[in-house]
Amino acid sequence: MKHRGRHRRQRRGRALRASLAGTALALTAAATLISTSQAAGSGTPGALSSITSSSQLREFQLRESLVDETALDSLASEMGGGVGVDEVLRSANHTMRTEADCYDTEKAALPVEPAVARAYCWESGDAVNDKWLPQSVTTSRDNRVIASGWTHTERTAADGADEEGIARVAFVDASDPANLTYRWTLLVVPKADGDGFEAVRSGLGGMAWYEDKLIVTARSSESTGRQDDSLYVFDLRNFLRADVTDSDAIGRVGDGWSAHHYRYVLPAAASYSPSSGGGCDARDNDGVPCFGSLSLDRTSTPPSVVASEWFRPSHEEPARVWRYDLDITPERAGLLTTTGARSDVDAVQAYETESAGVQGVLSHKGDWYVAQDGRDREVRGSLWRQDEDGARAAKCTGDDAGSKAYACWGRHTASLSYSPVTGEVWTLTDPIPARVLYAVRLAKVDNALG
């Protein structure tokens, strides 16, 4: 039985500077409006409902497509050979601000309960750049590197049609917690004809880092309609260097290579698309889901990735969350587990949740954590721990009690990522002037559930 919700939620930001207020609010409202069925803070979404019918599970099936290794090798050779993430980090040219140096408007986005373990804010140019929207985060296994995915917004496409929807990742050197630095990398996909590369154009709603692979969600902009690919996979051993850094172009430029002013590109090694042959459907939860967020679960056997679905703004639908196993064979580590001659990928677990405005999902030791955004611009989000028996979230006290008793999480948070070394859950917020990257200890999340 499908359930329909009754509330909507939309995001909002306030300007860091008075001159940016109008632009910031317009961008946030347009880019992040999402409907709700069980609004944050207004009550429990209840238990997860298991999806078991074969016809419904078939909607989650993906088909793998590997990029031709010869084409990748040829591209790498023409661009001087691939390099690893360590070189990218050594060339970091941006510095994050610690929590003490964040503006009050930025710190206002942090959760009330539980308190953050640490928080950082972006360099000022990125903190107020309304052309780019931060949407996802993941960490290396040792938590010494943080990756954050940003997408060029449609709203500023008039500044350059070639920029619309392109995706970049900030690779953050977090080896010194007091001094985080980062470098931007452009995500690209090799051209089918073998002649260079083109930009990945997708909303990066979620990311998962396993071994030497970075898996990201693929979601089309509303203007381009249906999204044919659902996931991209990138090999973190194969960053390529662009030697032309003063050009807007993406790809071959004369005798050199340009990456829209970026020094590094990361070419896709694989992609996954709906096995039905069509694209996803963001209108409701009756068809192929559009990927909203993604995260890694190291506690499952084998390790897996879990995802939540995204809807077009104004649709009142309960979301689905599901899981794919990762392949652990050495030659395929970081790719999804496939079956059959057609390299199909089946979801091994799927649920429906009544949490509304789902922005991130995390699975750890059998529990599902669902980040739910507030129902309007002033209401904080909630972080629910759900299973088939029920749901729990931290309760606020004082000014945040009453009708918003569960709205204690951060404002306008995006995807979730768990670091096993530090026991921290990482997330980030997206609107101007409240773009913050922060971590909360999972133990404190569970303790706050009461």
What is the per-residue pLDDT across 284-343, written as a single tens digit (0 to 9) for each?
A: 788 899 999 999 999 999 999 999 998 765 556 788 999 999 999 999 999 999 998 789
Residues 6 or more apart whose Cβ sits within 8 Å of residue 150: 132, 133, 134, 135, 167, 168, 169, 170, 204
Span of 28-32, 229-233, 433-437 with lowest mean pLDDT: 28-32
Q: What is the mean pLDDT of residues 374-383?
A: 78
Q: How far is 407 from 112, CA to CA, in rounded Å?
A: 9
3-state secondary structure of 339: strand
The chain-wide mean pLDDT, for the chain, equals 85
Q: What is the mean pLDDT of residues 115-131?
A: 96
Vertex 57, ends 53 and 59: CA angle to 5°? 130
User: Which of 34-43, 199-208, 216-225 holds the top average pLDDT?
Assistant: 199-208
Pairing of strands 390-393, 417-419: unpaired
Q: What is the mean pLDDT of residues 215-226?
A: 62
Are the beta carbons of 24 and 432 closer than 8 angstroms? yes
| Alpha carbon of residue 382 to chain centroid | 18
What is the per-residue pLDDT across 172-213, written as a single tens digit (0 to 9) for each?
A: 999 999 999 999 999 999 987 778 999 998 889 999 999 999
Which DSSP helix (H) or strand (E) runs through 26?
helix 21-32
